[in-house]
Amino acid sequence: MRPSRAEYPYRWRLMDRLEAAADRLFPRRWSRWTGWLMLAPALLLVAVLLIGLVQIADASLHTLDRKTFRTSAAYSLDNYRAALDQGVYLAVLWRSVLGAAIVTLLTLLLAFPYGYVMVRTRSSNLRKLLLIALFLPFFIGQVVRAYGWLIILGNGGLVNDLLGLVGVPPQRLLFNYPAVLFGLVQYMLPFAVLMLAPALTAIPEETEAAAGSLGANWLRTLWHVVLPMARPGLVGAGLVVVSLTLTDFAMPAILGGGGQDFIANAIYDQFFRTSDQGLGAALTLLLVGIGSLVVGAVFTAFGAGTLAMGRART
């Protein structure tokens, strides 16, 4: 006897059909490959990126003939020699690495208290305010934000107007290295807070209360309890900030006044100004190499933090 409609609803039957169809497409005996199947789109994407990287590596081994503006057929390391021999590229590389380190440090110093207050505050209004202040910049692109700083920090801008009220003559606040770092810190702060917040949320408030009940003041609690427990978040946030800063283009271009290039600006110049794609490719691979070294060093020293999805390195 067939089951009644009430006993076996249509949506169950639909699910049965779908399951049968899925079984035909991907038989149950293949189930051990299910994980790989789900990974396939991501792997495909990575493969495409790798193919691109291989092509860039290939391009970096051919030099530009300026009589024909075509690259040589022969392979050579001349582009790498040019990149390492010319002081300008080393200076720009150093500026990028130093900038990434300073910006990461400053951003973490600012992001930690921001994230901590956002997570711990009892006031829902304050939490909402902090969240809005955090997310609002995401709706404004990096370039627009940089132009905003041009208006605020310019010779005739708001800050100089305020300084003028107390008799200070207009100061050149833009087009220098500190201006670039300032813009980058402001840009990176939301990323860092978003990476830190889950780690801070995961620290039970009772742990801090226990430390206090055992006689630790807030500073000792912070140093011995909160910071160690927030380490995965700090590491994850640091990795994101250092990677994004190292490869940033817009802030040095806009706030640097043309004299504070990062390596991404130098790469752009080679690809689009001098048409020397080989040298541009060599600089690109140097950047990839330095970025990988930095991330590898952090992984080795501190683990992958929240990027390891909660598996702390022991």
Contacts with other proteins by CB under 8 A lie at 64, 66-70, 86-88, 91-92, 95, 150, 154-156, 172, 174-175, 257-261, 266, 269, 271-277, 279
Nearer to other proteins, 123 or 274 (CB): 274
Which tokens belong to 131?
A: 């969240």
Q: How far is the CB of 246 from other proteins (least distance, A)?
A: 17
Q: How far is the CB of 261 from other proteins (least distance, A)?
A: 6
What's phi and psi for 86, nearest 5 deg? -85, 120
Q: How far is the CB of 240 from other proteins (least distance, A)?
A: 27
Residue pair 96/261 in contact by the 8 Å Cβ criterion = no
* Cα 202 from Cα 94, distance rounded (Å): 37
Q: Any idea which residue has 């990062």 for tokens?
A: 262
* DSSP type of residue 8: S
Which tokens belong to 201?
A: 């949320």
Nearer to other proteins, 148 or 228 (CB): 148
The end-to-end CA distance of the chain, in Å, is 61
Helix residue ranges, H only, the chain? 10-25, 34-59, 78-85, 87-120, 124-135, 142-153, 158-165, 177-201, 205-213, 218-221, 227-229, 231-246, 250-255, 263-268, 277-302
Report in angstroms the alpha-carbon separations of 191 from 105, 177, 211, 232, 240: 14, 22, 30, 15, 8
Nearer to other proteins, 95 or 291 (CB): 95
Q: How far is the CB of 66 from other proteins (least distance, A)?
A: 5
Residue pair 264/247 in contact by the 8 Å Cβ criterion = yes
Nearer to other proteins, 140 or 151 (CB): 151
Kindly give the interhelix angle for 177-201 and 87-120, rounded to the nearest 10 degrees.
40
Nearer to other proteins, 115 or 280 (CB): 280
Q: How far is the CB of 245 from other proteins (least distance, A)?
A: 18
Nearer to other proteins, 164 or 296 (CB): 164
Q: How far is the CB of 175 from other proteins (least distance, A)?
A: 6
* Cα 18 from Cα 12, distance rounded (Å): 10
Q: How far is the CB of 107 from other proteins (least distance, A)?
A: 25
Nearer to other proteins, 234 or 283 (CB): 283
Residue pair 281/57 in contact by the 8 Å Cβ criterion = yes
